[in-house]
Amino acid sequence: MEQVHIIGIDLAKHGFQLHGARPDGSVAFRKKLTRGKVLGFLESQPRCEVAMEACGSAHYWGREIGELGHEVKIMPPVYVKPFVKRQKNDTSDAEAICEAASRPTMRFVAVKTEEQQSLGMLFRTRDLLVRQRTQTSNALRGHLAEFGVIAPKGLAHVARLASAVADPDSGLPETVHELGGLLLGQIAGLNRKIGELESRIRDGAYEDEEARRLMSIPGVGPICASAILAFAPPMESFRCGRDFSAWLGLVPRQHSTGGKARLGKISKMGQRDIRRLLIMGAMTVVRWADRRGAPPGSWLARMLARKPRMLVAVALANRMARIAWALMTNKQVYREPAPVI
C-alpha cells in the first residue's frame, strides 16, 4: 500500500474524523477517533501533511501535531466548503479538507504561537468588558429616561445619571435609586478592570520592539499595535503591503467582468479587529487635521480638500496598513514623507 500523502482532520470537542489520502488522491483510510487517541495515531503515521479548518482549537492542534514532525496546513472554512460533496457530515468534511489542502493555489493560515494567542485573549477580554460597559450604561440611560431623567449618549454623560440616582430629592422611586446604584457600581467595576487591562497592554507594547515600531505610525497606539501582533500572520507571508491591506478587507470590493473594472466599497473580508482599530485611528488623525490643519502639500491635505471625511479615513487606514507592512518587513520606524510642493 502506498504511503499516506495527506491527512484531513475534521476537528471537534470529542470525536475527530480523519481522512487519509495517497499521492494520487485515492482514499487510504477513514477513521473516527476520540480526542485522546488523535496524537497517538498521528505519531504512528509516516511524516506527511495534516490539514484542518481554522476553527476553535485549530492552532492548539497545529502546534501539537507540528511537534510530531508533520507539516500542518490550516485553511479558512470558507475555502473548504466548495469541496464538500452533496450532504454535509463529518466524513464528507474531512474528505473536503483533504481535497482543498491539495490544491496548489490554496491559501493557508499560519499557526499561532501561545504568546500570540495569550495576547489575543488579553485584547478580546478588554473588548468584551468594553461592550459590557456600553450595554450597562445604555440600560441605565434607557431606564432613567422612563422617569424623565435624560442624558446624551456616551460614557462622558454617565455622571449626569449618577447625580440623579444619588439625589434623594430627584423624585425617583426607591427601587430606581437602588437598581440605578447597582448599575453604576457595575460600570465603576468595569472601568477599573478595563483600566487594568489597558495598562497591561500599554506596558507590554512599550516593551516590545515590533510594537514600538508600529506605534511610530500616526494613528496607531498601543492597543492597535498589540492587535496587529496578536492577530496578523507573519508579515513575510504577504508579498506586498497591498496584500496585507486586502487581507484586512480595506480594499474595494470587485464585481468586474468583460474587462470592465467595477469597484465598490471596501470588502470587509478580513480581520475585523485590526481593520476597526486602523479606521478608528485614521479617523482620529483626520479630526486632528480638521482642527489643526494638515501639513500643506501632504497626501492628507490633498485628500481632505476634495473627498468626504469618512472616505479619507478609510483610505488613510489602508495606507496605514501598507506602512505597517513596510515597517515590520524592513525593520524600520516611520518617517514623515516630504510634502509635495
Instruction: Supply the pLDDT for residue 188.
Output: 96
Instruction: Supply the pLDDT for residue 254.
Output: 84
Low-confidence ranges of the chain (pLDDT < 70): 1-2, 338-341
Instruction: Supply the pLDDT for residue 340.
Output: 62
Instruction: Supply the pLDDT for residue 2.
Output: 59
Taking the mean position of all CA atoms in its chain, how far away is CA 27? 36
Question: What is the CATH architecture assignment of 6-101?
Answer: 2-Layer Sandwich (3.30)
Strand partners, 29: 20
Instruction: Supply the pLDDT for residue 335.
Output: 87
The length of the chain in residues reads: 341
Instruction: Supply the pLDDT for residue 238.
Output: 93
Strand partners, 96: none
Dihedral pair phi/psi, residue 236, rounded to 5°? -65, -15
CB atoms within 10 A of CB 102: 18
Domain positions in the chain: 6-101, 114-207, 218-330
Instruction: Supply the pLDDT for residue 1.
Output: 41
- 306, amino acid identity: R
Residues in Cβ contact with 35 at an 8 Å cutoff, skipping those fewer than 6 apart: 13, 14, 15, 16
Environment class of 60 (CB within 10 Å of its CB; exposed 0-12, middle 13-18, buried 19+)? middle
Instruction: Supply the pLDDT for residue 27.
Output: 92
C-alpha cell at 50: 495534516
- 265, amino acid identity: K
